[in-house]
Amino acid sequence: MRGDVRSATTGTPLSGLATAAYRGVSLDVGRKAFSVEAVVGLIGRMADLGFTALHLHLTETHRVGVRLPGVEELAADDAWDAHDIARIVAAAEDAGIALIPEIDLPSHAAALLVGREHLRLVDRDGAVHADRLDISRPEALEFALELLEAAARAFPGDAIHLGGDEFFAAPWEDADAQHPERFPRLVAHARRLLGAGATAHDSYALFINALAARALELGRTPMLWNDHVVPASAAPLVPISTEVVLDVWIRWREWTPSVHDYLAAGHRVVTSHGDLLYFVLSEDGVPAPHGRRRFGLLEDTFAPRRFMGLAAQDVHLDVPRVPTGTPDPVLGASLSVWCDSPDALGERETLELLDTWLVPFARVMGEGC
């Protein structure tokens, strides 16, 4: 159990990122309309178990789960309003749980781009990708910054999540999806700024770094899903800033970066191991109790410094402890609640089942201290 750790200047609960004591829950309120009462109850339970932060995944492909000032028209009918947000913030303040908002960009963005269809990304075949933001456009960056700032104002804290996942094709997708010039505007944008050798991934890095810079100006530690991070050791033209904490959930192939590559490049990391720490409501069913996934129970398979070694295989990477007095780049771990099929389970049943995961996760993290 941790003590109640707060900012000396604002009194806001701290996430634990700065002290390598992060114990988080990520909650998908973009897909599933969790009530304020349910979230307040979860916050209280998290405090009892020694968690430090609730990461709120506020937006998803087809739904915006919060009504933010300036973009109220994007919100779902049942989205949280200002009064709801205030109740959640107050509960988190009382419980000593930090809130980390996430507006997921530049992918999973269809609901955010309603009324801004001109900002949708177009591929080399002329197909419009309704769920992807065309980050080559200055207006797209302005819009993303507006959303980031609105989320930061609504949810005070010491960190903010930039999203950033699943924008480019995964290694298992077909050759056309993985073509380096699939999105000509991104390639042209990067080459206009950086020269002939630039790629679409450089456009992505420029976009993420701009968001991260604004987050830092706001006094927030920026976090990012690790999907598209090319470590500086691989010599990209534009590395993702090492000020960005990588939320490491996936490693698709042996030749894609591992946590060791991220650490060697100077990044700090959180493990949100997608094969061990993902609680998913899906069309295939609901999670088994007690954190049981394909490799066994959470308490038997997870360790506080364990990262994915290879997706869907019982291969894991454990990062050694650092010597006493050395800054620890492994900042903690997060349990992720995903609601791919939001109606697969009711709200009360979801949280009751989740509790059977929270307890063993908290126990493992406590033993790892």
DSSP collapsed to 3 states, 247-302: EECCCCCCCCCCHHHHHHCCCCEEECCCCCCEEEEECCECCCHHHCECCECHHHHC
Q: How confident is the model at residue 367 (pLDDT cuts 50, 70, 90)?
A: confident
DSSP-derived secondary structure letter, 187: H
3-state secondary structure of 162: strand
Q: How far apart are CA 43 and CA 88, in angstroms?
A: 9
Render pLDDT for 246-257 as a digit per residue (tens, 0 to 9): 999 999 999 999
- Domain assignment present for 6: no
Residue 91: pLDDT over 70: yes
Residues 206, 98, 340: CA angle, nearest 5 degrees: 65
The count of structural domains within the chain is 1
- Domain assignment present for 7: no
Render pLDDT for 173-185 as a digit per residue (tens, 0 to 9): 999 999 999 999 9
Render pLDDT for 186-229 as a digit per residue (tens, 0 to 9): 999 999 999 999 999 999 999 999 999 999 999 999 999 999 99
pLDDT value at residue 209: 99
Q: What six digits make up the tokens of 112?
A: 């955010």
- Domain assignment present for 334: yes
- Domain assignment present for 68: yes
pLDDT value at residue 368: 62
pLDDT value at residue 1: 42
Q: Considering the chain, what is the average pLDDT of its residues?
A: 97
- Domain assignment present for 10: no
Q: Which CATH number do you get for residue 127? A: 3.20.20.80
Q: What six digits make up the tokens of 217?
A: 């100006």
Render pLDDT for 60-83 as a digit per residue (tens, 0 to 9): 999 999 999 999 999 999 999 999
Residue 2: pLDDT over 90: no
Residue ranges of E strands in the chain: 22-28, 53-57, 59-60, 63-64, 98-105, 120-122, 128-133, 159-163, 221-225, 245-248, 269-271, 278-281, 306-310, 315-318, 330-339
- Domain assignment present for 3: no
Q: What six digits make up the tokens of 161?
A: 């999540």
- Domain assignment present for 218: yes
Render pLDDT for 271-297 as a digit per residue (tens, 0 to 9): 999 999 999 999 999 999 999 999 999
- Domain assignment present for 329: yes
Domain span holding position 250: 17-367
Q: Compute φ and ψ for 120, nearest 5 degrees.
A: -75, 145
pLDDT value at residue 3: 53
Output the CA–CA distances (angstroms, integers) from residue 77 to 99, 108, 136, in the order listed: 23, 19, 31
Render pLDDT for 281-339 as a digit per residue (tens, 0 to 9): 999 999 999 999 999 999 999 999 999 999 999 999 999 999 999 999 999 999 999 99
